[in-house]
Amino acid sequence: MTPSQNISHLILRSAERASRRLQARLWLLALRDAALRLLRVRVRQQYLPRLCSIVVLVLATGLAGCKEKRDAGFQGWVEADMIYVSPDESGRVTKLGVREGDEVKVGDNLYSVDDDLQLADLNQNKATLANAQQTYDRAASLSKTGSGTQANLDSAVSALRVAEARVATSETRMARRKGFAPVAGTIQQIYFREGEMVAAQRPVLSIMPPGNMKLRFFVPETELPKLAIGDTVRVVCDNCAADLTAKIYFIATSAEYTPPVIYSLDERSKLVYLIQARPSRPDALRVGQPIDVHLNPKTPVADKR
């Protein structure tokens, strides 16, 4: 056998061996794939009834939940009409007699503002009053003896009245340098403290009377006929008492959202109206607290009419 034939023979043998190894590997892969498929079929047959039962139960629960209507209520929040107490004129706060959260009564002293300028104006007007009083006394004495004229006396009387009025005005300005509680309630917030300058008619603090607390919520246009002023609604909030109620005292006459020109069926569903109600227990709520309002079932107003 020539060298070239030997080389060809070696190549053929190597190729045959490689082919056998490849076929053996392919057979092993095929056997493994068949075993895995058989195992999956057995598992599927074993757990298929149980899986079908679970699917049926989930579908039945979903259908029952769709049929049952849950009253989610109308979302709203708590607000309050604050009473703001402010000085008539600018000045520096010299004394603050209350803190946030304190209960105050009508007439309680809340704060004091420096009164140096007002005191100087009062002293000046008192000096003018003293001079006007002297002028009047002299004119009245001369009028009695016949030496003075009636015109001088009238002028002295007029000057005296003006001086008295100015003194009264200065005393009023002095008295208003102290802030007193106009209503009974709770100190909600303090805006200026001792040593700070407060401008004229800028509130130093705010008072929240219990009767000024209110609930604000929006009702869709379709639910509006179910409500009327004076109706009682249930109020639900996080970790609140279960017996909270409120009485409606305001229903907006205009919608918060008004589509342009024409109301289509889709746009009408977006119309909402503002409703305000007074809580029966304002001490159980806090300003800014989110709430849910639930309507009491009753005959709609349209049906009554």
Q: What architecture does CATH give domain 115-172?
A: Orthogonal Bundle (1.10)
pLDDT higher at 43 or 35: 35
- Residues 101-153: tens digit of each pLDDT: 999 999 999 999 999 999 999 999 999 999 999 999 989 888 888 777 888 88
Q: Is the pLDDT of residue 17 over 70?
A: no
Q: What is the mean pLDDT of residues 154-165?
A: 93
Closest C-alpha among 293, 242, 89, 52 to residue 176 = 89
Q: How confident is the model at residue 36 (pLDDT cuts 50, 70, 90)?
A: low
Q: What is the mean pLDDT of residues 3-23?
A: 58
- What is the pLDDT, as a whole number, of residue 261? 42
Cα(248)–Cα(213) distance, integer angstroms: 13
From residue 30, alpha-carbon distances to 36, 37, 40, 61 in Å are 10, 11, 16, 44
Q: How confident is the model at residue 54 (pLDDT cuts 50, 70, 90)?
A: very low
- Residues 168-200: tens digit of each pLDDT: 999 999 999 999 999 999 999 999 999 999 999
Q: Characterize the bridge pairing of strands 290-295 and 272-279.
A: unpaired
DSSP-assigned letters across all residues of 132-168:
HHHHHHHHHHHHHHT-S-HHHHHHHHHHHHHHHHHHH
- What is the pLDDT, as a whole number, of residue 87? 94
Residue carrying the six token digits 């007029």: 158
Q: How confident is the model at residue 35 (pLDDT cuts 50, 70, 90)?
A: low
pTM over 0.85: no
Residue carrying the six token digits 């009062």: 122
Identity at 281, one-letter amino acid code: R
What is the chain's mean pLDDT, rounded? 80
Q: Find the length of the chain.
A: 305
The CA dihedral of 161, 162, 165, 166, to the nearest 10 degrees, is -150
Q: How confident is the model at residue 241 (pLDDT cuts 50, 70, 90)?
A: confident
Q: What is the CATH number of domain 74-80+209-304?
A: 2.40.30.170
Closest C-alpha among 73, 76, 71 to residue 250 = 76
Read off φ and ψ for residue 254, nearest 5 degrees: -125, 150
83 by DSSP, 3-state: which? strand
